[in-house]
Chain A
Amino acid sequence: MSMRTAWRKTVNVVMLSLTGACALVTVSVLFFILGYLVVHGGASINWDFFTKLPKPVGETGGGMANAIVGSGKLLLVASLIGIPIGTLAGIYLAEFGGRGYSFIVRYTTDLLNGVPSIVIGIFAYSLIVLRTKQFSTLAGGFALGIMMIPISVRTTEEFLRAVPTSLREAAMALGANKWKTISTVVIPAAIQGIITGIMLDIARVAGETAPLLFTAFSNRFWSPGWNQPTASLPVVIYTYAIAPYDDWHRQAWAAGLVLLGLVLVANIGARVILARRAAFLKA
């Protein structure tokens, strides 16, 4: 074997192992993050964390009950805004749209998807907070809802398009008009995908902090109704993390674990549903 061949063979082995190392390192980071959160956050999760309100600054104890409920309310408002608009727009693009207009809508949706979340926060502040003269759950939910729309559009369109044309044609052959076909045949066939899309969508905006900083603001107490500032998990994690109090750090880890747990459960759940569906379709 010549020198050159030996060299090439060595390079081959080295580089390929390096790529393996890269993959290993990247995946290890995920497990490291999870592990660290579980270790540091796990110890601090107790009944108080889920049921009590925060204590005054500097005192230890208390919990994040208001932040957990606040996040829930924000996600509810966001879903009511983002999911209907996104899903229906997705149906439009997949079923009704003409070429030109669909292109514009798709392009704008991608554009909206790429807008940094802090800019959406600015938008929601000038549109809602300044006009209602109030920081509120509605304003925060609106900001998050806008962020939910593009993902919802894309997944709905994708899963609707994946339904085979033969199903549609069969329905029409039986005399159904377009909307009947869509509502009774196409959507049910795609429903699993659409629902997983919604789950992933909610999981994504659940962790957003920046747009909430000047819309939902924050609250040390319960936030009744929809027109008051509200605490939320990501904002409280941020506030506690940059503060010097060790007790707050402990609570921030716990909150981080809860938030990450929710996000991961939604993501893994979505994949499992999709995997089952793919296996079902293959069989």
Chain B
Amino acid sequence: MSSAASATGPAMSSWAPRTLLRRLRNGDEIAHLITLICASSILLVTSMLVYQLWVNSRLPRHEFGWHFFATSVWDPVFEHFGALPFIYGTVVTSFLALLIAVPFGLGAAIFLSELAPRKLSDTFAFAIDLLAAVPSVIYGLLGIFIIVPIMRTVVEPALKKTLGFLPFFQGPAYGVGFLTAGVVLAIMIVPFIISVSREVLLVVPQDQREAAMALGATRWESTWKVVVPYARAGILGSVFLALARALGETMAVTMVIGNDPKISASFLAPGYTIAAVIANEFTEATGDLYLQSLVELGLVLFLLTFVLNGLARILIVATQQRGGPAH
């Protein structure tokens, strides 16, 4: 069968037309071509996406230039647009979310990888993976009806009483605001931190732990001072991954953040994030400069998540290579 011979032979293919037809009749070539086209369409779609974001934000880029990132005014009437309040809101809510989620997540991951018997660890990990699958709008639902009232009636007044001297906890307790958005985001990203950190901790070679214990360390000391630092690149990677997810989160945030494009020092104040303002104002931005300013915000968000995801991937791969058997 000549087709088999030409398929299994090395790259002896010539460009001559007569073999082209034979090669096309060969299932391999077609399969290769079709799968290649599909793979390339991913490149096509992604480049179209970036292109659209770039082209549809040309008005504010020319009008405001870099000032767009330094202005904190968002005024559709007088057509002054600035990205600062949204960048601030996105950064603050994500920072608060990490502040809450990382200790919980890392703690849980340590428990699951070091202490829990394998079966318990797997069951818990399964349950936590299910948490990661819960849609954002359902977190928003819980946010509005459960978390916001608790924040408004219990948590925020308590914070004001105890830490009210700090500028972070001043102002009225609305219930909605940066802090509440941070709490809801924390619940949403903690599963990512746990599952990735648990994986990288499990991969740390057993002899590291045993060596530490042989030197007289307690279980905790061996974990905290030897195992965790060994896996720190991967753990950091999981944090970046969680951060990238938090930055792009739209629905849950817009339902609990108060939707006010202002920069406030207080975490109890209402704010706005990039994703939330796009969701609220995109369908109604009358005027091209307004609409394109929103698209430019989308571009900023895209670039931020792009950089973070890239860093995360590098860190996680670095740990996996380090912790592998070849080391």
Contact = CB atoms under 8 A, between A and B. Distances in A.
B103 interface: yes
B49 A213 contact: no
A12 B221 contact: yes
Interface stretch (A52-60, A72-80, A122-130, A190-198): A122-130
B104 A122 contact: no
Contact of A178 (B31, B49, B302): B31
Interface string B254-294: 01000000000000000000010011001100000000001
Interface in A77-115: 84-86, 88-89, 91-93, 95-97, 101, 104-105, 108-115
B135 A234 contact: yes
B159 to A, nearest CB: 20
Nearest to A249: B145
A230 to B, nearest CB: 16
Contacts of A43: none
B291 to A, nearest CB: 10
Interface string B141-167: 110111000000000000000000000
A25 B104 contact: yes
B45 A112 contact: yes
A252 B141 CA distance: 8
B215 interface: no
Interface string B51-83: 011001000000000000000000000000000
A105 B43 contact: yes
A112 B39 CA distance: 13
A119 B298 contact: yes
A279 to B, nearest CB: 13
A237 interface: yes
Interface of B is mostly: helix
A104 B141 contact: no
Residue picked from B8, B42, B45, B104, most chain A C-beta under 10 Å:
B42
B127 A122 contact: no
Interface stretch (B202-210, B245-253, B319-327): B245-253
Given A110-B313, A177-B26, A30 B130 contact: yes
A259 to B, nearest CB: 6
Nearest to A135: B283
Contacts of A238: 137, 140, 251, 255
Nearest to A29: B187
Given A97-B39, A118-B250, A122-B282, A237 B53 contact: no
A125 B194 CA distance: 35
Given A12-B218, A108-B46, A27 B128 contact: yes
A146 interface: yes
Given A16-B219, A92-B36, A253 B116 contact: no
Contact of B127 (A27, A92, A93): A27
B141 A116 contact: no
Nearest to B194: A26
Contacts of B124: 23, 27
B313 A23 contact: no
B21 interface: no
Nearest to A105: B39
Contacts of B129: 267
B42 A109 contact: yes
A257 B131 CA distance: 14
A95 to B, nearest CB: 8
Contacts of A29: 131, 187
A268 B130 CA distance: 8
B49 A89 contact: no
Contacts of B282: 121-122, 125, 213-214
A88 to B, nearest CB: 4
Contacts of B136: 207-210
A27 B108 CA distance: 10
A146 B255 CA distance: 25
A256 B138 contact: yes
Interface in B104-147: 104-108, 110-112, 114-116, 124, 126-131, 133-138, 140-142, 144-146
B19 to A, nearest CB: 16
B97 interface: no
Contact of B133 (A116, A214, A252, A267): A267
B13 interface: no
Contact of B103 (A22, A88, A209): A22
Contact of B301 (A30, A119, A149): A119
Given A122-B295, A123-B53, A116 B35 contact: no
A91 to B, nearest CB: 5
Contacts of B244: 114
Contacts of A15: 220, 224
B107 A23 contact: yes
Given A15-B220, A110-B309, A268-B130, 17 more contacts: A23-B108, A96-B35, A101-B39, A112-B42, A117-B248, A118-B278, A118-B298, A120-B49, A150-B42, A175-B4, A183-B31, A209-B250, A237-B138, A238-B251, A238-B255, A256-B137, A263-B135
